[in-house]
Structure 1
Amino acid sequence: MSLSGSTALITGAARGLGAAMADSLLRRGAKVALLDILEDEVKSKAAELEEIYGAGRTLAIHCDVTSTDFEKSFEKVKEHFGSLTIVINNAGIMNEGEWEKMIAINLLAVINGTKLAVKHMEKDGGVVVNVSSILGFKAFSLCPGYTAAKHGVVGFSRALAAFNKEEGVKVRVNLLCPSATDTPMLQTSISAKGPGCALGNLQVFNQFFGDEELEPRTVAEACMRLVEDKSLNGSALKVVASTGAELVQFPELLL
């Protein structure tokens, strides 16, 4: 499906899954704003993608999603591209030793980013994809704070999607829930030692997730279903290496 004419904003887009999703969107004809706290890396990634897909297709924005920079970034994207139709809240960290920071990035910034997306897209319509995790509906003892944040993202996104539908707000809200994905965040967590290093026990990690990690491009391509299929709202797409991508079946929401 062509996304020509669409404009996307992706947080945590300098590398890993965010960069892969930017590539997938650009390949389908969209223009993409890449947001990241890693200023040099996000500028480099945007320039790299423009070399592949053509000038004027990307915008790099240095942004801390826990600050007022985030709202200003939405305004910059609208001013630069003239529209906004896709928002992917992807930025995240995994560090139980800094659990308050982790909740701020992984949950509070996702809530804020979704509300900002609705504010900027409700007139013309659009779609939000919030990146949760397989830990959004499973619990992993080595990272309780991370698990809590991802559960929160699932609950918030499903509830807001239902609210938008009831109120006639033309913004869909969906969830991407991948299993362990080969990104810099995961590799840093696995190799780290000391207090707060949730995944330092590689044996326990492999018992829970299995030995096979997903490639970012595989997850990014699965994510495009949530963007392109306009029938999906409040949907969660689980992506696991052994079984592929499939929609999660939840109990009915209380409305």
Structure 2
Amino acid sequence: MRGADGFNSTIRRQVAVADDPRPGNYMCWLATVPFGHPRMTKGYAAHYWGRGQRFGLADIGHGRAYWWGTKNIPAGASGSRRLGKEQIAGLFAGWADEVQEAIRGTPEDTIVSITAQDRPFLQRWGTGRMTLLGDAAHPMLVSLGQGAALAIEDAVVLAEHLKEATELPSALRGYEDQRRPRTEALVAAARALSETEQLEGPFASRMRDLYFRFAPLSKFTSQNEAVLTWPPLG
């Protein structure tokens, strides 16, 4: 049995002791919308940071854009803290013109609202002829944007282990052993980056902004390569 049933995986609860979601302490809103703006050239992708909130805007082709926004919420607050379009727009009043226009141009009923959360990393993904992959195995916060990518990687590695397997449980344990180090590292990295991006205090957020303004590009390039390059280049 393969468990790829997402963040609230039923099969995960059968494999391991049920664990509670681990809050990220912020809300996310996201949407895709027909959108054009002089600043949004072909392939445009931008990340706007504030204090305790962020906004992302990307050209996805054919005259459409994908956007997402975040806002810190008190620890323990739940997804019931949903906001209407006008309230979301109010959070980003005074931000870049393209940010405000993207929100204004989005039909309210197409905006998806989610609570940022992950789960403690699971060291055992399966038993016998059962295993997990994707968000069922290693749900992560959104900051690295690698949730779907890791699920695809899982599927590739699983297929390789099953291709010539003569003993299924051993093949599944081999897949799990190969995938745990990378996925555990990226779950932790996503949480660490998320905490940095969502900094709200004036001093901490200012120090963050100065670091990203003046740190050498080579540092960020090497960090991105570690996340985006798979399998690792020899």
Give the TM interval when normalised to the shorter protein. Answer: under 0.3
Largest Rg, 1 or 2:
2
Q: Quick check: which one's helix share is greater?
A: 1
TM-score, with structure 2 as normaliser: 0.26
- Greater relative contact order (Cα 8 A, min sep 6): structure 1 or 2? 2
TM-score, with structure 1 as normaliser: 0.25
